């Protein structure tokens, strides 16, 4: 058991426990805070995988923007902070069964795949993943079109969100 395996196991356990608390906790504000813990765990996983730029983007975009948006949405859609009644619907048993089946199916798929024993190769000398990513996002030979389409999608979605949530009074 090497040190990176121990780090991965601790981070994965904390992330999964936080994710379980997101879907089971009765208090929605607490669920949003547990979501922040989960997202931070995923950012650490990105850092372990040497995707440094994505780890930073995960913290800035997900924790800094999306999680805060969730907290505001929770506060805007209630009169008092306490949650009344059950937080799970009547068919939550079927939901749990389906989730368990999905996990078992995916685990069997991973188990039966031959490429799963692959080990990570070392980075080539002089290779900078961040500059390669930046070049790929603006190069016409690579992904400039999906990148621009994604930005148009984001602008359209945000304009639509303002229109939908606008209070006409």
CA dist., res. 162 & res. 159, Å (int): 5
CA dist., res. 15 & res. 36, Å (int): 10
In eight-state DSSP terms, residue 75 is H
| Shortest reach from residue 80's CB to another protein, in Å | 13
The tokens describing 74, both together, are 């929770």
Phi first, then psi: give them for residue 4, nearest 5 degrees: -70, -30
- Whose CA is closest to 74, among 33, 24, 15? 33
In eight-state DSSP terms, residue 52 is H
The tokens describing 28, both together, are 């929605």
| Shortest reach from residue 6's CB to another protein, in Å | 10
Residue closer to another protein by CB (options 4, 80) is: 4
| Shortest reach from residue 81's CB to another protein, in Å | 14
The tokens describing 150, both together, are 């994604």
| Shortest reach from residue 119's CB to another protein, in Å | 6
Residue closer to another protein by CB (options 81, 123) is: 123
Residue closer to another protein by CB (options 69, 81) is: 69
| Shortest reach from residue 75's CB to another protein, in Å | 10
């Amino acid at each position: 058991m090497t040190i990176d395996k121990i780090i991965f196991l601790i981070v994965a356990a904390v992330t999964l426990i936080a994710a379980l608390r997101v879907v089971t906790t009765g208090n929605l504000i607490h669920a949003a805070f547990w979501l922040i813990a989960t997202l931070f765990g995923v950012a650490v996983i990105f850092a372990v995988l040497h995707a440094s730029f994505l780890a930073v983007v995960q913290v800035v975009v997900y924790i800094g923007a999306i999680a805060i948006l969730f907290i505001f949405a929770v506060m805007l859609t209630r009169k008092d902070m306490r949650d009344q009644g059950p937080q799970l619907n009547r068919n939550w048993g079927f939901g749990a069964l389906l989730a368990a089946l999905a996990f078992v199916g995916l685990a069997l798929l991973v188990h039966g795949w031959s490429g799963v024993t692959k080990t990570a190769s070392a980075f080539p000398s002089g290779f900078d993943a961040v500059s390669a990513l930046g070049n790929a996002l603006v190069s016409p030979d690579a992904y400039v079109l999906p990148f621009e389409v994604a930005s148009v999608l984001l602008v359209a979605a945000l304009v639509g969100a303002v229109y939908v949530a606008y209070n006409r009074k």
